[in-house]
Amino acid sequence: MPLNHRPGYIQLLLRGLLAGLAAGLLAGGFAYLVGEPHINAAIAIEEAAAPPGEHADDPLVDRDVQSTAGLFLATGLYGVALGGILATAYTVLRRHLRTDSDTRAALGLSAAALTGIVLVPYLKYPPNPPAVGNPDTINQRTAAYLAVLALGLVAVWAAALAARTQTDQWRQATAGTAAFVVVVGIAYALLPTFHEVPDDFPATLLWDFRISSLGTQTILWTALGLTFAGLLTARTKATVTAA
C-alpha cells in the first residue's frame, strides 16, 4: 500500500482495538466451553482436599458470574489491550518488515507475538489449574514468568536480526531458527524450575487444562492477526476505490 494511502495511527489503533475485542470474545467462548469444566474439576479437588471443617472464604464475585460474565469481560479487555499493542507494533515496525503485503505484515507480527509471548513461556512454565502451586513461591514464579516472557520476545527479535544477515531463503530460515533456539535454550537453562504439581493430582485433568489454556491463547492471537489484517485490507480497498 502506498505510504500516502496508509491509515493514520488513530485509525490503525481503532482497528486494532476492534480486532482485539472480537478476538478476545472468541477466545472467551472457547475458554468457557473447553476450559471452564477443567477449572471446575480442579476447584472440586481443592475443596475436597481441604481439612474437615475448614471452608474457604466466600468470593466477592459468585463463581457462576466469574465463569460467564467475568470470563468474557476479562478476555474481551485482554483482547482490546493486545489489539492496541499489535496496532502500535505494526505502526512502528511496518517499514522494517520485508514484505509489501500489509496482510503478511500483520499476520507475521501476530505470529511472532504468539511465539514469544505465549509459546516460549508456556513450554518453560505451563499453566496450572487451581489446587496446584505453592503460595510461598508465588513471587518467585511471577518474576521467573515475566523474565521468560521478556526473553521470548528477545528470542524472536534475535531470530529476525539473524535472518536479515542472509540472502537465500533457506539460509534466512536456518539463521533465524538457530538464533531463536540459542536464546531460548540459554533462558531455559538459567531460569529456575518449579515442580509443584502434587503426585496424586489427576494427570489427565492437568493435561486437559494446559491444552485448553494454550488453545485459548492460540485462538486469541490467530483471530487477532486475521481480523486486524482483514480490517487493513478493507481499509486499503476502500481508499483505493475512493481515489
Q: How far is CA 234 from CA 57, 100, 214, 228, in A?
A: 51, 16, 30, 10
Q: Are residues 94 and 27 in the same domain?
A: yes
Q: What percent of the chain has pLDDT over 70?
A: 87
Residue at a domain's end among 196, 213, 230: 196
Q: Are residues 10 and 78 in the same domain?
A: yes
Angle CA(196)–CA(132)–CA(195) in degrees, nearest 5? 15
Structure confidence by residue, pLDDT tens digits, 27-57: 999 999 999 999 989 888 877 766 665 555 5
Structure confidence by residue, pLDDT tens digits, 83-123: 999 999 999 988 888 778 888 999 999 999 999 999 999 99
State the residue range of the domain holding 154. 133-196
pTM here?
Answer: 0.85
CB atoms within 10 A of CB 181: 13
Q: Are residues 137 and 120 in the same domain?
A: no
Q: Are residues 123 and 174 in the same domain?
A: no
Q: Are residues 119 and 58 in the same domain?
A: yes
Q: Are residues 83 and 160 in the same domain?
A: no
Q: Are residues 139 and 101 in the same domain?
A: no
Going 186 to 189 to 195 to 199, the CA torsion angle's sign is positive
Q: Are residues 39 and 143 in the same domain?
A: no
Q: Are residues 80 and 164 in the same domain?
A: no
Q: Are residues 118 and 225 in the same domain?
A: yes
Phi, psi of 90, deg, nearest 5:
-60, -45
Dihedral angle, C-alpha 185, 186, 188, 191, nearest 10 °: 180
Q: Are residues 160 and 209 in the same domain?
A: no
Q: How far is 154 from 151, CA to CA, in rounded Å?
A: 5
Q: How much is the mean pLDDT over the chain?
A: 87
Nearest to 147 by CA among 93, 195, 186, 196: 186
| Number of domains comprising the chain | 2
Structure confidence by residue, pLDDT tens digits, 189-224: 999 999 888 888 899 999 999 999 999 999 999 999
Q: Are residues 9 and 80 in the same domain?
A: yes
**146 contact partners, CB below 8 Å, separation of at least 6:** none
